[in-house]
């Protein structure tokens, strides 16, 4: 082959922005599975069909997958319910009298230290639950793990319900955090693995919608209890957590296991049966379960060719280190962007000068807007992609937080400013839940490798929990009149962290929209810049050497160059 033709071929590959699996990786993959060539041919056909599948076709072919994903994701409602319940009980008079300290003016108030302790108790439990989940779910599967967690919820709710001291309440929150950590990982992983790429964003972000539903239900319950002046005003909301586990357990028992998990366990026949239970094959005669299972096997084998390990340590090795950084920081940004204001909404409104009744009403409106925002995010992600939506959301939230900070300077001397703060927080909630909030769930499930997905989500969510612990320590002090008493001026602080999050997102967060897991693997393995993920053409089924030979052969014939997307060996 003439040198100038070789250089021309290489330059053309680079100019066209084409990447594929390299020969070394393919060699290692062929050792792991000698049938890699056959798998690649069938996987290529399944990938082509997935790319050409419209949203309507996806819903027609995978309605059962959507249903079962929704069933499992509903478990997150419980976490959203209790998270908002506890933080907003800080502003509830019977709860304050029971667990608070009397102030000089005769009123009762939980100290900032105990507010932080109670909020962080659940997060500590979640950290433990998450690490356990990363090991247990990979060994026993998603269904068995989530059923065990639901049974723990039934047992642990007894503790906060019968708590007579604040220490007992703290213990109950820590123990309840363990199963909540399970829900955070399993629901997102399951949603990402039971559907094609054109449905991933909807089912993974539905997890965020469940979180918002829990917040909205908790706000409604607290609003209904607002006129009660006895202990049942806070005991009844705790007891309502018993209504969720049994129906969800029944649903999980009937649901199929993730076919991706079964493939990783080399249970190919079981994976095929699970896939058929997730699809309505009669809706699409061209659908082939065998080809889709081959795509899962092909992707898993290529990942193993890069790194065969599947422990937490492997998340920090080689290419997976970059993927771990991205998913971890992406989830931490949910806290760093200032969302802590939403968790303390009722308490925040009161400290801004609004009455208790108006505070609970605004909280309900806030979370209703959050639900609407999450639904809006489905269309926005389809049009603009995950990366663009995340960037736009962070810019908008930075501006809103600055406005809240400036209004906080005059809020206690101006009733209009108090209501303006409430209005800005409503706009902030809508922005968050239509951009950063739901997009995070899609990103962390798509950008982690299939082999390490559960453990990557565990690490990401735990960093989120750690940042949550920090914010739960400082936020009560920012808002509490017995501590720093910043009030709405805390918006300046969170505007700064939100802007720093924007800078990281611009340089480090890639766009996974429309990519199969196999294509994302190639983009990471070839170390493509985050800003070029969307424009790079990917072929997971042909080596660079094969493509180069194809280009050179075409150039030698004097014809136009065409990059074939099919397998060539």
Average pLDDT in the 381-391 region?
Answer: 92
- Find the domain containing 12 and state its range: 3-21+518-556
Instruction: Give 249's pLDDT tier (boundaries 50, 70, 90).
Output: very high
Q: Which residue has the higher pLDDT, 404 or 106?
A: 404
What is the pLDDT at residue 184?
83
Name the more confident of 169 and 216.
Answer: 169
Confidence of residue 16 (pLDDT cuts 50, 70, 90): very low
**More confident call, 569 vs 357:** 357
Q: How confident is the model at residue 553 (pLDDT cuts 50, 70, 90)?
A: very low
Q: How many residues does the chain have?
A: 569
Quote the CA–CA distance of 511 and 498 in Å, as a whole number: 20
Band (353; pLDDT cuts 50, 70, 90): low
* Model confidence band, residue 245 (pLDDT cutoffs 50, 70, 90): very high
Verify that 153 and 198 share a domain, yes or no: yes
Q: Let me know whether 140 and 72 are in one domain.
A: yes
- Domains held by the chain: number: 2
279 within domain boundaries:
no
| 11 or 279, which is more confident | 279
Look at strands 101-102 and 18-20 and give their pairing.
unpaired
My answer on whether 426 and 544 are in the same domain is no
pLDDT: which is higher, 2 or 285? 285
- pLDDT digits 0-9 by tens, 393-448: 999 999 999 998 888 887 666 667 777 877 888 889 899 999 999 999 999 989 98
Categorize the per-residue pLDDT at 554 as very low, low, confident or very high, splitting at 50, 70 and 90: very low
pLDDT of residue 257: 96
- Report the CATH number at residue 501: 1.20.1250.20
Residue 288 domain-assigned (yes or no): no
More confidently predicted of 507 and 362: 507
Task: Judge if 134 and 105 occupy the same domain.
Answer: yes
Provide the 3-class DSSP secondary structure of residue 108: strand
| H, E, C per residue of 416-465 | HHHHHHHHHHHHHHHHHHHCHHHHHHHHHHHHCCCCCHHHHHHHHHHHHH
pLDDT score for 505:
97
221 and 105 share one domain: yes
> What is the rounded average pLDDT of the residues 542-566?
45
From 509, 527, 542, the end of a domain falls on 509
| Residue 123 shares a structural domain with residue 203 | yes
- Contact call for residues 200 and 378 (beta carbons, < 8 A): no
pTM: 0.79
**Amino acid 422: pLDDT:** 76
Does 465 share its domain with 535? no
Higher pLDDT, 253 or 101: 253
- Res 96: pLDDT: 84
- 473 with 410, same domain? yes
- Residue 436 in any domain: the answer is yes
- Would 392 be classed as within a structural domain? yes
Kindly state whether residues 403 and 527 are assigned to the same domain. no
How far apart (Å, rounded) are the C-alpha atoms in residues 232 and 95? 10
Q: Give every CB contact of residue 498 below 8 A, 6+ residues apart in sequence.
A: 336, 337, 338, 394, 397, 398, 401
Band the pLDDT of 343: cuts 50, 70, 90. low
- Write the CB contacts of 459 (distance below 8 Å, at least 6 apart in sequence): 134, 312, 315, 324, 327, 328
In a domain, 41, yes or no: no
Residue 32 located in a structural domain: no
> Does residue 541 lie in a domain region?
yes
Compute the average pLDDT of residues 145-170: 92
Same domain membership, residue 411 and residue 542? no
Confidence of residue 279 (pLDDT cuts 50, 70, 90): very high
pLDDT at 522: 87
Pair 397, 437: CB distance under 8 Å? no
Highest mean pLDDT: which of 92-101, 198-207, 495-504, 532-541?
Answer: 495-504
In a domain, 282, yes or no: no
Helices (H), 194-231: 197-225
What is the rounded radius of gyration, in angstroms, for the C-alpha atoms of the chain? 25
| Same domain, residue pair 184 and 75 | yes
Residue 14 has pLDDT above 60, yes or no: no
Pair (390, 534) in one structural domain: no
């Amino acid at each position: 082959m003439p040198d100038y033709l070789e250089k021309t071929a290489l330059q053309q590959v680079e100019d066209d922005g084409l990447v594929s699996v390299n020969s070394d990786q393919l060699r290692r993959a062929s050792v792991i599975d000698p049938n890699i060539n056959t798998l690649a041919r069938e996987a290529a056909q399944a990938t082509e069909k997935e790319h050409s599948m419209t949203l309507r076709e996806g819903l027609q072919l995978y309605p059962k997958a959507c249903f079962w994903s929704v069933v499992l994701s509903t478990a997150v409602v419980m976490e959203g319910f209790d998270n908002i319940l506890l933080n907003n009980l800080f502003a509830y008079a019977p709860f304050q009298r029971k667990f608070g300290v009397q102030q000089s003016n005769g009123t009762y108030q939980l100290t900032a230290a105990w507010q932080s302790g109670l909020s962080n108790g659940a997060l500590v439990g979640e950290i433990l639950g998450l690490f356990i989940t990363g090991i247990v779910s990979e060994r026993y599967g998603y269904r068995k793990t989530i059923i065990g967690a639901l049974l723990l919820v039934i047992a642990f709710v007894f503790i906060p319900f019968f708590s007579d001291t604040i220490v007992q309440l703290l213990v109950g929150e820590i123990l309840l955090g363990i199963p909540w950590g399970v829900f955070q990982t399993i629901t997102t992983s399951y949603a990402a693995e039971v559907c094609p790429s054109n449905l991933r964003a909807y089912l993974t972000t539905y997890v965020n919608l469940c979180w918002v539903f829990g917040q909205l239900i908790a706000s409604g319950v607290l609003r209904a209890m607002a006129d009660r002046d006895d202990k049942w005003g806070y005991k009844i909301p705790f007891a309502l957590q018993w209504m969720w586990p049994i129906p969800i357990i029944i649903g999980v028992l009937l649901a199929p296991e993730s076919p991706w998990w079964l493939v990783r366990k080399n249970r190919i026949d079981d994976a095929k049966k699970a896939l058929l239970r997730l699809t309505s094959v009669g809706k699409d005669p061209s659908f082939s379960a065998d080809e889709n299972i081959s795509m899962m096997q092909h992707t898993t084998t290529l990942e193993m060719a890069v790194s065969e390990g599947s422990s937490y340590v492997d998340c920090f090795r080689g290419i997976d280190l970059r993927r771990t950084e991205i998913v971890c920081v992406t989830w931490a940004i949910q806290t760093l962007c200032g969302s802590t204001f939403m968790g303390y909404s009722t308490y925040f409104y009161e400290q801004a000068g609004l009455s208790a009744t108006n505070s609970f009403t605004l909280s309900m409106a806030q979370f209703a807007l959050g639900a609407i925002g999450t639904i809006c995010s489905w269309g926005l992600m389809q049009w603009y992609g995950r990366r663009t939506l995340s960037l736009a959301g962070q810019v908008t939230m930075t501006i809103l937080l600055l406005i809240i900070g400036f209004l906080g300077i005059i809020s206690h001397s101006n009733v209009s400013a108090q209501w303006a703060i409430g209005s800005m927080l409503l706009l902030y909630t809508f922005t968050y839940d239509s951009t950063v909030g739901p997009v995070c769930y899609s990103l962390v499930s798509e950008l982690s490798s299939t082999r390490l997905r559960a453990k990557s989500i565990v690490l990401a969510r735990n960093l989120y929990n750690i940042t949550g612990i920090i914010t739960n320590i400082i936020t009560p002090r920012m808002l509490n009149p017995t501590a720093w008493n910043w009030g709405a001026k805390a918006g300046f602080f969170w505007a700064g962290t939100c802007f720093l999050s924007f800078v990281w997102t611009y340089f480090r967060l890639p766009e996974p929209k429309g990519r199969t897991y196999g294509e994302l693997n190639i983009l990471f393995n070839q170390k493509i810049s985050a800003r070029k993920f969307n424009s790079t053409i990917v072929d997971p089924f042909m080596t660079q050497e094969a493509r180069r030979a194809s280009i050179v052969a075409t150039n030698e014939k004097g014809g136009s160059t065409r990059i074939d997307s099919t397998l060539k060996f």
